[in-house]
Amino acid sequence: MPAISQFLTSLLTAMVLTIACTTAAAQEHNRLPQIGTTGASFMSIEREQLIGDFYMRQVRARAPIIADPVLDSYLTEIGQSLVRNADNVRYPFNFFWINNSEINAFAFMGGYVGVHTGLIQEAHTESELAAVIGHEVAHVTQRHIVRRMQEQQRNVPMTIAGIVGSILLGMASPEAGAAGLYTTLGMSNQSQINYTRLYEQEADRIGMGVLADAGYDPAGVPSFFGRLAEKYRYVSKPPEMLMTHPLPESRIADTRARAENMRQVNVTSSLEFFLAKARIDARYTKANTNSELQQHAQSDDPMMQFYGQYALAIRALDDGKAQQAEQILAPLLNADPRNRFFLDVQTDILLAQERYSDALDMLNNAYQRSPNEPVITLNYANAAMEAGETQRSIELLRHFLLENKNHVLALDLLTSAYEKSASRAAMYETRAEALALRGNFKLAIDQLHTAHNHTDNDITQKRLNARIDQLRIQQQRAEDVM
């Protein structure tokens, strides 16, 4: 099994945030407690955020996160629509993709939710995808991690250092990491199952309510879980999610009964859902061959036609056939000229053909309609840099980062723009911010010292000194968290 799969398995186990787990019988539904507001005496919200921030920095550094503005925007929009309809939201949520074909998702402290590319490939509808995300949002809002840690602390002393250390060890040596994790948790299997059962029941119940309130079909929960359980019932190696947390009939029946009693929503999946699936298929999971995509493009189903044509355009572009890609994409772009999925690919086509003026004109018009929108802004900045207009790129990215200061891709692009413009101090300073977001505080501080040496401006030097002090404090806090 790949190391990253083991890493995420350990992550899910350590944080006790599961998508599928043994549940109690359906008659227990109405006795479930509202436990989300508890745990405050064990860990404050501020400390929970601090731990989540630290852990996310490690994930950015080590996990195969997809830096794709189009996919990021799509996932964030689904996630935030669910968060807006959830109770007990104590801090902002962040959603990100993991390039992994395993069917899985996970969440941890601080409102961070990761979704595998394999999950959307398995989902048949947007409501099924949203169902899993809503379940993870419920785990976070109900503070299930803190509750689990609090309960475990009563039995066997446990440190965050032990948990996170085992997870990080699991990246290099999966078996050693798992062994260290189980030793750290020091719990019996029965106690883990019993306690997780309550979490899963509550996450199902609250997650389905959030799902319906956000306008999705709550039947997406039993539909997805039921199909997954049936599909892999007799296989020798089921998905990682089912291997670690099986789906008994009781849970599927439970969610089906809940969906039948809830307000039914006749929801159709958006075009963006199919385009996101196609983009992931074309570039990441490679679930379909080109011949199969051709069949989709000729389907009687309009959504599958979009799926096939869009994926084929991306495949042609990635194979160095820009003209062919443009011909395939043209009818899609003509039908929906403001669609971000299409604009993104068309930008890359124009840049591959060195038609820089066309790319900049197209993106400038889009930017005027939607200033600072992530997909348009990042494409515009990249196109400007490729066209040799580095100052325009720098201005776009700096303005974007005022509202999105933790956007790693934007920082990486800005670092490149400063390098091309020979702005050495600014380049090192920006690179330091990207390194800090990946948890490498030591190297980030070194970069700031180098930036200091590349400027004679007294105000800039003072700002850099102040930032060095801030990062040292963050570095110390990260060590204290452990």
139 is in an annotated binding site: yes
The pair of structure tokens assigned to 223 is: 């539909």
Catalytic residue among 53, 122, 126, 204: 204
- 3-state SS, residue 241: helix
Spatial separation of the C-alpha atoms in residues 154 and 182, rounded to whole Å: 17
List, as one string, the DSSP characters of 21-42.
Answer: -----GGGGGG----TT--TTT
Burial per residue of 399-418, b for 16 or more beta-carbon CB atoms within 10 angstroms, e otherwise: ebbeebebbbbbbebbbbbb
Q: Is 204 a catalytic residue?
A: yes
Q: Is 136 a catalytic residue?
A: yes
Catalytic residue among 53, 72, 126, 136: 136
Spatial separation of the C-alpha atoms in residues 113 and 289, rounded to whole Å: 30
Q: Please choose, from the candidates 256, 249, 241, 252, the residue with its C-alpha nearest in 3D space to the C-alpha of residue 20.
A: 241
Spatial separation of the C-alpha atoms in residues 229 and 152, rounded to whole Å: 30
Residue 451 is which amino acid?
A
Residue 478 is which amino acid?
A
Spatial separation of the C-alpha atoms in residues 52 and 55, rounded to whole Å: 5
135 is in an annotated binding site: yes
Contact 142, 33 (CB under 8 A): no
Q: Please report where in the chains the tokens 């959504």 appear, as a residue.
A: 303
The pair of structure tokens assigned to 56 is: 């996310």
Cα 44 off chain centre by: 25
Q: For residue 385, what are the contacts with CB-CB under 8 A and spacing of at least 6?
A: 393, 413, 416, 417, 420
Q: Please report where in the chains the tokens 């007294």 appear, as a residue.
A: 458
- Using a CB cutoff of 8 Å and minimum separation of 24, what contacts does 473-477 make? 474/436, 474/441, 475/441, 475/442, 475/445, 477/50, 477/54
The pair of structure tokens assigned to 147 is: 């509750």
Cα 383 off chain centre by: 25
Spatial separation of the C-alpha atoms in residues 278 and 310, rounded to whole Å: 7
Residue 182 is which amino acid?
Y
Spatial separation of the C-alpha atoms in residues 116 and 136, rounded to whole Å: 13
Q: Are strands 105-108 and 94-98 parallel, antiparallel or unpaired?
A: unpaired
Contact 254, 29 (CB under 8 A): yes
Catalytic residue IDs: 136, 204
Residue ranges of the annotated binding site are 135, 139, 200
Residue ranges of the annotated binding site for Zn(2+) are 135, 139, 200
